[in-house]
Structure 1
């Protein structure tokens, strides 16, 4: 069940004026933002504060806040064995001008800079120690217990969603799309949400149970414009990719790349198409 409210208008915070939102948050939390450090994303804005912390502010329509809420960063503070910024507190308020909620989460500063944009076009040159810390955190995450359900792109992931996505690129009933194992996942794993040279994983709003391999497949999809990097992701997370669920998640990610909104010059199209054909053949072979 969702909160009953009119739908909020679509907003991209990369271009929407947000000064009044930042001002309100500063007054309420008695903090001052360093406006020179503001990072704007589609649905969030973040900045460094004068008390040497980071505040991330997210906007969501009331119709897009489900039963589990949108306190992912707060809930992720309870996870063990994962390199992430320490969560310090939050504030939540309703927008006076529409069916919208704002949430500001304050955390420690990141130990290093974010690696890049969600989709990379150049190899970031990550060291072996980074990959070891990355693997340790993803393995620790998959071993946790949670009642949350992952919401990649703010959409709750379900068996029906997986089947629908896979069937868009493999319509023939040549294999079963039933997920065998659901494990906790970050659900927004891309190169904009990790740091280097010191590894840390942040932006936990969408985390929750998902089919095994969702995170690995998502990062692979974000790496396809750099073939060597995509291959490294598959090598490091091979136990995910070799599993049946990991193959389904590979197709799930490929469906997003190859879908109706695909740009004809996206360098990820051809490698995604080749991988989809390979994985479909493997699943059909049993």
Structure 2
């Protein structure tokens, strides 16, 4: 890749990726990320997400993709992605927010523009499937599965650990179609442990979170995060998620 790594490496979620700060003689500060999967499962949505996003969202604030390099040792397949280094603090080190955020009006304005741009982008990629909704919503919320009427393109992993203080959006591996309002609902659900920030998010994204489409997105997101909690992730988020499910149902009724 022509880059020299610096600083300690950083593991991604559940060890799926390994990232490293790097310097490149042409591109300057970079981020080098390595993905690995069994050789017979290479390709697909997560494998191609960063590559596809580079051309699909040219106006959205995100790391610039410089180069991709693939190789295969017949047991594992590897993909190295060299992107521009984002020298901006992230909002949180964890997807689940544990501290209040002092976000400006201009930050929210930029993010609303970003979400509109993403939602208006045609795609054949899928972030959330109706088949999964049909199974997961009853299993993890105890409620009937909604039939999604409005699907739009979504980032798919829209939370404080993937957003910077200057409204740059990171980690594009899972983007694709999802229920309308899905990204806003995800950011809101992950902020439930910090009510002042959660209330601000709800207020700023009212058009996306209110109405039938917004309530559907909230129910789907709650099912997703409760499923994750059942596997041991962010158990402290479970009680407020249960409350959020009931709130959405109360408005619906």
TM range (shorter): 0.7 to 0.9
**1:121 pairs with 89, 98, 105, which one?**
98
Give the drift of 1:147: 1.4
Q: 1:265 to 1:245 in 2, by over 3 A?
A: closer
Rounded Cα–Cα distance in structure 1 between residues aligned with 2:186 and 2:40: 26
- 1:61-140 equivalence runs, <5 A: 61-62=38-39, 64-65=41-42, 67-68=44-45, 70-78=47-55, 79-96=57-74, 98=75, 100-116=76-92, 117-140=94-117
Residue 212 (structure 1) aligns with:
180
Deviating beyond 6 angstroms after TM superposition, the runs of 4 or more aligned structure 1 residues are 262-265
Summarize deviations over 1:227-253 as a string: whole Å, max 9, x none. 111122222221111142321221122
Structure in which a larger fraction of residues adopt helix: 2
1:57 aligns with 2:15: no
**1:179 pairs with 129, 132, 148, which one?**
148
| Segment drifting more, 134-143 vs 76-85 | 76-85
1:165 aligns with 2:165: no
Rounded Cα–Cα distance in structure 2 between residues aligned with 1:86 and 1:67: 21
SS of 1:53's partner is strand
| Segment drifting more, 186-195 vs 87-96 | 87-96
Aligned length: 244
TM-score by length of structure 1 reads 0.77
Rounded Cα–Cα distance in structure 2 between residues aligned with 1:147 and 1:71: 13
Give the drift of 1:201: 0.4
Rounded Cα–Cα distance in structure 1 between residues aligned with 2:164 and 2:50: 17
Rounded Cα–Cα distance in structure 1 between residues aligned with 2:18 and 2:149: 37
Rounded Cα–Cα distance in structure 1 between residues aligned with 2:222 and 2:44: 29
Rounded Cα–Cα distance in structure 2 between residues aligned with 1:68 and 1:169: 25
RMSD value, Cα: 2.4
Residue 123 (structure 2) aligns with:
146
Q: Tell me, which stretches of 5 or more residues in structure 2 are unaligned? A: none
TM-score by length of structure 2 reads 0.86
Q: Tell me, which stretches of 5 or more residues in structure 1 are unaligned? A: 1-28, 151-156
